[in-house]
Structure 1
Amino acid sequence: MGITISAAIIIKNEERCIARCIDSLLPLFDEVVILDTGSTDNTIRIIRDYKDEKIKIFFSNWEDNFAKARNEAMKKCNCKYIFFIDADEYISSDITEFTCELKRIDEINNTRNNDAYAYSPIIKDHENNITKNIRRVFINCSEFYYFGYIHEELRRKGNKKIIDKEIKITIQHDGYKKEIIKSKDKQKRNENLNLKNLDAEPKNLRWIFFHFRDSFENLPRKKYTNHFIVK
């Protein structure tokens, strides 16, 4: 199997930005796997207007669980590697940069334990803040899965360690502009799903952090917030 790569996107009502995302993906990826979880706007029409064989659309009910949606999308991917990207993101690296990094990923995976590595691109938001530690790229195998209702994280079966590597592929992200958060009611959604993460894993520092970060002004559940403030 050669160096092939699938882009995977979870979408719902993304007419504002889905074309921008797809336009950045088509020159770079062998397939673009899109899982729609209930769009009621023009998102699907925009996607179908491309009439490109690389684009594969699937449909699923939204169950308040981002990890479940990602895991379902993974099953639809056919390439050697999977690259998750959100609809409110787009890749700004050119094809030369992208191809070089993909070759480097493949070299690492071919010489070492290839089901242990996950790769984090450079994610730049609308205020030019940069994040380099979100796992987005990994080999397509049954070893990997996502966990978490929101702020889901990539894991390996059997609680095996993932070896993290940074890659020089840049993603631009604008989904957390204030007006977008308000229009899509992201804050309320995030608060509710963060609490589900805490119910599932109350001692996981990742979920504690995101609970406070996303709902600090409201602190909606005293049994968690009071406990951790005291600690």
Structure 2
Amino acid sequence: MQQKMSRIKQVVFVALAIQLAVIILLQLIFKINILPGILVLIAESLIAVYLLDYFQSANEEESIGLEKYLGGSYADAYLVGGVGMMNYDENYVITWQSELFKERGLDRIGSKLLNWLPEANDIISGETEKVNVTIDQYVYEISKRENAPTIFFKDITLLDKYRGKYNEEHVVLGLASFDNYEESTMYADDADIANINATIRTPLNEYFQKFGVFLRRLN
């Protein structure tokens, strides 16, 4: 919406400038009294300023902050809980963002949502309900409000960190067995059994020591 308002302002300014240029040319070439034209131009300018200000105010009211919609206490709860919201228009231009992003120094109003955050395309198209994205040093779980141009951001940075630690550090159990070991050592003497054991176990012991794996033999 902001981009549209900027384009409208540019068009109005150009139109008024052209009218002024035409009035001046008429006075220079045909020596016509330009006072009526100047008065009309002034009236048009005042009307244009009034209408642009009206639409600008309407846009600001439409994009009013979270506090007015939910009340200050709810807005604070969203902020402390790490929940943010963004609205976008029919061209996927971000028109409003909640206080969370302002607190974190992130201002994306006027930016194309899908250019800035291409991962959002999956939830907008309905291919998936939630997507995890990394923005600066934060990890967010994003989702879309049903039948509304609103994206929710939930800060899951700590959860993602602990999940990663769990995946990296949780206990994993493995079992290795040797085929035909008992058959191979059943009738062998002690020297052959020791040689077989050394040949089998030495590579395993070296591998486990290299990667810090605890090894226990089960009889």
Name the TM-score class by shorter chain: under 0.3
The structure where strand makes up a greater share of residues is 1
More helix by share: 2
Alignment TM-score, normalising by the size of structure 1: 0.25
